[in-house]
Amino acid sequence: MEAGNGGAGAVSFRREKFIELGGPDGGDGGDGGSVYLKSTRSLNTLNPYRHQRSFSAARGMNGEGALRKGKNGMSVTLEIPLGTVVRDADSGEMLAEMLEDGQRVCVARGGRGGLGNNHFKSATNRTPRKSQPGEMGEMRDLDLELKLIADVGLVGFPNAGKSTLVSRVSAARPKIADYPFTTLEPQLGVVSVTDIDSFVIADIPGLIEGAAQGAGLGIQFLRHVERTRMLLHLVDLSDPMQEPENAVCIIENELAKFSEILFAKPRWLVATKLDALQDEGRRENFEELCRERGLTPMFVSAVTGEGLKQLVYRIHNELSVIS
């Protein structure tokens, strides 16, 4: 990010017919433009800045005679999604945490314009030939890290049914397909419970074993669930290649390795794809897993809608008591 330099002050003297000794009338330089970041709900990702990474504000114009001040440089305001953490790339210092819609922070301040020679006149120096150059604008490299703000985060293996669930309980329309890692970036959906009550659910790209060390899509999405109030761990009951116990333990281990705080969040186990279940023994295994953890087994089918309404109401009730 590069702010604009300030314009230079002018050295000028008033010269008009019939007016002798008009005196200095050099105007001040204009201030350089600054670079601002502004948070907005209309963005969910930092993708707009994937290719263009350099931004510059305009410099201030130089001052002119007749005490005319130079025009200020145009500032630049960049919109970023809610939940973005802004750090100085060189020092690592956190400059801002964008948690409110419309929050605006200056990350590179423009240079002030220089003073014209009019400011340097005195009783002993009536014809000052001195002015100030404009100040340099700030230059700063930034690291932007997005941590989504949601009430509920969905975790689980790829193809566990997270995107389909979000599409059924909210107006969000994430991409849905029958191959792993269909979801490549987090998706947010607003779930309406009543006319006035709602909560935000986040579809997080699928995790695999070793995600906390960078395997698969790695930790770049685990950090998104750090700000959620609770987690739903979705387990695909229809997958004959993986037992429910194994699927649950692997994800739990990855959450624990990544963050103790994340692992300690309220977390429910939800069995998905009930419509495709062929082995009732898998259902019994899942129920036993829940009992071992002191949880109530929950079963849903995003295809038939079975269990979805009950799940939404249970989540709403739980959120009302979670601080």
Q: Which pLDDT value is given to residue 299?
A: 92
**Residue 178 shares a structural domain with residue 108:** no
> Which of 146, 161, 191 is the last residue before a domain boundary?
146
The CATH number that applies at residue 62 is 2.70.210.12
When divided into structural domains, the chain yields a total of 2
**Residue 122 shares a structural domain with residue 183:** no
**Residue 264 shares a structural domain with residue 167:** yes
**Residue 158 shares a structural domain with residue 270:** yes
> Which of 111, 146, 181 is the last residue before a domain boundary?
146
Residue ranges in the chain whose pLDDT is less than 70: 148, 172-186, 206-224, 323
Q: Which pLDDT value is given to residue 77?
A: 96
**Residue 174 shares a structural domain with residue 35:** no
Q: What is the pLDDT of residues 262-284, one digit of tens each?
A: 788 889 999 988 888 887 888 88
Residues linked to residue 36 through DSSP beta bridges, in sequence order? 77, 106
**What residues contact residue 284 under an 8 Å CB cut-off, 6+ apart?**
none
- 3-state DSSP: the chain helix, strand, coil percent, rounded to 5? 25, 20, 55
Q: What is the DSSP string of 111-176?
A: PPPPPPGGGG--SS-SS-----PPPPPPB--EEEEE----SEEEE-STTSSHHHHHHHHSS-----
**Residue 112 shares a structural domain with residue 170:** no
The CATH number that applies at residue 184 is 3.40.50.300
**Residue 89 shares a structural domain with residue 223:** no
H or E segment to which residue 261 belongs: helix 260-263
Domain boundaries, position 41: 1-146
Is the pTM value of this prediction over 0.75? no
Q: Which pLDDT value is given to residue 217?
A: 47
Q: Which pLDDT value is given to residue 224?
A: 64
Instruction: From 19, 15, 17, 12, select the one nearest 65 (Cα to Cα).
Output: 12
**Residue 223 shares a structural domain with residue 181:** yes
**Residue 177 shares a structural domain with residue 309:** yes
Q: How far apart are CA 116 and CA 27, in angstroms?
A: 5
**Residue 161 shares a structural domain with residue 212:** yes
**3-state SS record for 278-290:** CCHHHHHHHHHHH
Q: What are the start-end ranges of the E strands in the chain?
A: 35-40, 76-81, 84-88, 94-97, 104-108, 142-146, 152-155, 187-192, 198-203, 230-236, 267-272, 298-299
**Residue 140 shares a structural domain with residue 175:** no
Q: How far apart are CA 31 and CA 90, in angstroms?
A: 26
> Which of 93, 124, 146 is the last residue before a domain boundary?
146
Instruction: From 147, 312, 322, select the one nearest 219 (Cα to Cα).
Output: 147
Q: Which pLDDT value is given to residue 310?
A: 92
**Residue 199 shares a structural domain with residue 313:** yes
